[in-house]
Amino acid sequence: MNLMFSLCQSCNTQTLTILQLFYLLIAIEKLIRSRTETFITHQVYDARWNYEQRLIVTCMLQNEGMEAIPSDLIVEILSRLPVRELGKLRCVCKQWYGLLVCNNEFTGEHMKHTKRKPLLLLRRYSSNFLVEVKTNKVSVELTAIDLEGTVINNFRTVVNGPVHTFVSCAALAILCCMRSLYVFNPSTGQGLSIPRSSAAASFYTIGFGYLPKSNEYKIIHLFLVPSVGEGKMRSEILTLRDGEGVITDSWRSIGNCPQSVSASDCLCLNGIVFWEISRLCKGPQGKEIASFDLYKEEFKVYSYPVCDSTKYSMMGLTGFQGTLSVVGFAAETSTMDVWLMKDNNSGIWVKEYTVDLFCLGAESLIPSDYYSGDILISTKQKDLIQYSIRNQTSTKISYCRTIGTFRKPCLYYESLFSLHKIV
């Protein structure tokens, strides 16, 4: 009790909960341990204090208060905690509040750690047909689970549906309805309604990307305009900034997209957004990839890898250790071929791997920017498999019991990114 009283005095507040004190004790204990041993991430919750450590901490706080803890170590420690718990620690002291509320440096450091432990974001939509049909309202449930199948958080909201496109990137998710667009951070429970486009009657194709250097997200909207010409699309962009939300009230035109893109999925790798497009006039070899560089704000079109596409039951885009990849599943031979783009400028593809899937029954690919070198495969048995290409090993991801009612999952990272303006 003396230790808890000293903590309350040093934090200059009487509103600390037992949970907040517990995490504060863990943080300081890690400070002591970091002087003598390497910090181990998975031991954050396994703190065990002996009498000597408690005595040292009590003396530190009684004599020097929170100033006794170096700020760089506080950042290193807190950046490893889940968003849900960080939200409870904002009231520990002013120093921690300033750190945890819209601090770009800390948000970026926290993201580095969460990317090592990605989550899966599941979604499902429902309507109360007796009440919501006339108002066109749709209830949306977003559930985050880890790769062991444990539910991390659950988020519910209502949108002006129906939802025709769902896009996610890093920590944020976009729900695109015919005439409305919403952005959500499932970790914090924050949501934002995006301003209507003045150039288009309805939302058509959406791209979404993250720029880690500036800690910004950008939304790209592609839409058809009859006067532009066949196969051409206009495009516009909107920027989201941490602690500011939408930084302008209107979309900014960025010219024409060189190809017609009608895709529900997109993938962002290293600040470039990719869409898979098909040109029916070219036959089975007509698949192409459209890209948009978020830094240069330039479009580009790549050809698909040269191959006999008829042998593959499914082909799709994903990221492999930060590199754009195409994965093809051959049902007859139960194999998977993986091509990597070696040069974004020239668009050169190299087939790096051919993997025996041991009749896993792959049905679809979960696009991701997973840097571990693993890919996520959805099977015909409705299982989700995490497959290590380098080790050629597979791990079945356990779902929560109600997974059958959810749509195809996507990769997702926790983040403190705030969609609301901080005054």
Cβ-proximal residues to 295 (8 Å cutoff; 6+ apart), any chain? 211, 271
Residue type, 22: F
Kindly report the CATH number assigned to the domain that includes residue 330: 2.120.10.30
**Total Cβ atoms within 10 A of residue 90:** 15
Q: What is the DSSP code string of 108-124?
A: HHHHHHHTTS-EEEEEE
- Over the chain (423 residues), the average pLDDT of each successive run of 10 is 39 40 54 40 38 50 56 79 82 79 83 86 71 67 85 86 85 87 91 82 83 90 71 85 84 84 82 80 65 93 81 84 86 84 86 78 74 76 78 74 61 88 62
Looking at residue 35, its pLDDT comes to 40
What does the CA dihedral 238, 243, 249, 251 come to, rounded to 10 degrees?
A: 0
Looking at residue 80, its pLDDT comes to 83
Looking at residue 158, its pLDDT comes to 87
Nearest Cα to Cα of residue 249 among 298, 205, 188, 193: 193
Nearest Cα to Cα of residue 277 among 248, 269, 267: 267
pTM over 0.95: no
Question: Does residue 84 form part of some domain?
Answer: yes
Q: Which of 49, 75, 101 is the last residue of a domain?
A: 101
Question: Does residue 189 form part of some domain?
Answer: yes
Question: Does residue 328 form part of some domain?
Answer: yes
Q: Can you tell me the distance from the alpha carbon of 233 to that of 257, in angstroms, rounded to the nearest whole number?
A: 5
- The token duo for 175 is 């729900």
Domain around 97: 2-101
Question: Does residue 128 form part of some domain?
Answer: yes
Question: Does residue 111 form part of some domain?
Answer: no
Looking at residue 274, its pLDDT comes to 93
Question: Does residue 167 form part of some domain?
Answer: yes
**Residues 362 and 273 grouped into a single domain:** yes
Region for 334 from its dihedrals, namely left if φ exceeds 0, alpha if ψ lies in -120 to 50, beta otherwise? left
Looking at residue 100, its pLDDT comes to 85
Residue 42 DSSP one-character state: G
**Residues 96 and 148 grouped into a single domain:** no
Q: Which of 75, 101, 127 is the last residue of a domain?
A: 101
**Residues 212 and 245 grouped into a single domain:** yes
**Residues 50 and 150 grouped into a single domain:** no
Looking at residue 173, its pLDDT comes to 92
Collapsing DSSP states into helix, strand and coil, what is residue 351? Answer: strand
Looking at residue 286, its pLDDT comes to 65
Question: Does residue 417 form part of some domain?
Answer: no
Domain count of the fold of the chain: 2
Question: Does residue 156 form part of some domain?
Answer: yes
Q: Can you tell me the distance from the alpha carbon of 325 to that of 274, in angstroms, rounded to the nearest whole number?
A: 11
Matching residue, tokens 């066949």: 230
**Residues 152 and 95 grouped into a single domain:** no
